[in-house]
Amino acid sequence: MERRKFIKKTAASSALVGLSAFGMNSCTSNKIKHITILHTNDVHSHIDTFPKNHSRYPNLGGLARRAALVETVRQENANTLLLDAGDIFQGTPYFNFYGGELEFKLMSKLKYDAATIGNHDFDNGLNGLYSQLPHAKFELLSANYDFKNTLMNGHTKPYQIYIRDGIKIGVYGLGIKLSGLVTKRLYKETVYLDPYEIAVDTERILKEEEACDLVICLSHLGYQYNSSENRSDDVTLAAKTSHTDLIIGGHTHTFLDKPTLIKNKIDRNVLVNQVGCFGVKVGRIDFYFDHLKNVASNGVAITV
């Protein structure tokens, strides 16, 4: 199936599922506001399409294809955000040679709105990450990495607010514990703060103080671990939150065809999504708001 036809078919089915959650009056007499979230994670410096004879991802991925897909969706719905859940760096010679410059420049050309920081984004140290910041024309969001005693101080934000068609969208970032994954000399005096505590505090600010209609977490914690591993993950995070609507995950390279629904502390659904790795898929979540800002949603993974 041609990619353009596939995306149109996907959008049509998403609208049908989303709108069915609203009452008839809101559908017939009031405008439905439509917000689209596109997202990637763990791209790991994969710029090119995989070769046709690749054992796992034959003829898949590639930044040019992703750009075409993103542009098609934006033409369909101008109220679109493009987000990334970390591990932008490391994985191909492009990173070894350019140190992340190419990745940030190309993401900027695609007009990413925000990304969080993964553990591999420290692979050239804080100096390496800092030196590439001029090439990133998007926000780096990290609420639980305290950089105040490092040269990264002031170059990230805990959250960012976007307004699309009158809908206020708050996006915050969470990173994985670096100790044991990253050599101390690379992250230096970066302080890791408990992601669950930070998430609860940040989502409260976004919902109660900033009056956001939609709250999104960009997480590089990982989708889910065994309880014996004693690590923070997105499934557990969702259950501990009260105001977060969507968790876009990374780190574990988990391929989900559609978001997982988790009940939060107040028995509302949180969407948890992750689209594997290497840019072979792009996640798409569509949110629909009625005139009272009641929200319905649907999500899919689109192969690039």
How high is the pLDDT of residue 181? 94
Distance of CA 252 to the CA centre of its chain: 14
- Predicted pLDDT of residue 69: 97
pLDDT (mean) for 223-252: 94
pLDDT-based confidence at residue 227 (cuts at 50, 70, 90) = confident
Q: Per-residue pLDDT averaged across 242-257, rounded?
A: 97
Is residue 4's pLDDT more than 80? no
User: Span 244-254, mean pLDDT?
Assistant: 98
- Closest by CA position to 216, among listed 160, 259, 177: 160
Please give the Cα distance from 111 to 138 (Å, whole number): 7
Please tell me what DSSP assigns to residue 279: T
Is residue 218's pLDDT more than 50?
yes
pLDDT at residue number 303? 83
Residues 6+ apart with CB under 8 A from 229: none
- pLDDT above 60: residue 10: no
Is residue 187 predicted with pLDDT exceeding 90? yes
Give yes or no for residue 182 having a pLDDT over 60.
Answer: yes
Average pLDDT value over all residues in the chain:
91
Tokens in use for 70?
């993103």
Q: What is the pLDDT of residue 31?
A: 86
Provide the pLDDT for residue 176.
98
**pLDDT at position 124:** 97
pLDDT at 11: 40
Cα 45 → chain centroid: 16
For the entire predicted model, the pTM comes to 0.90
Residues 154-161, mean pLDDT to the nearest whole number: 98
CA–CA distance, 304 with 282 (Å, rounded to integer): 7
**Sheet bearing 281-289, strands edge to edge:** 139-141, 114-116, 80-84, 33-40, 281-289, 295-303
Q: How confident is the model at residue 16 (pLDDT cuts 50, 70, 90)?
A: very low
* Closest of 27, 8, 9, 18 to residue 76, by C-alpha: 8
- What is the mean predicted confidence (pLDDT) over 231-247? 97
Q: Decide if 282 contacts 295 (C-beta within 8 A).
A: no
The number of residues making up the chain comes to: 304
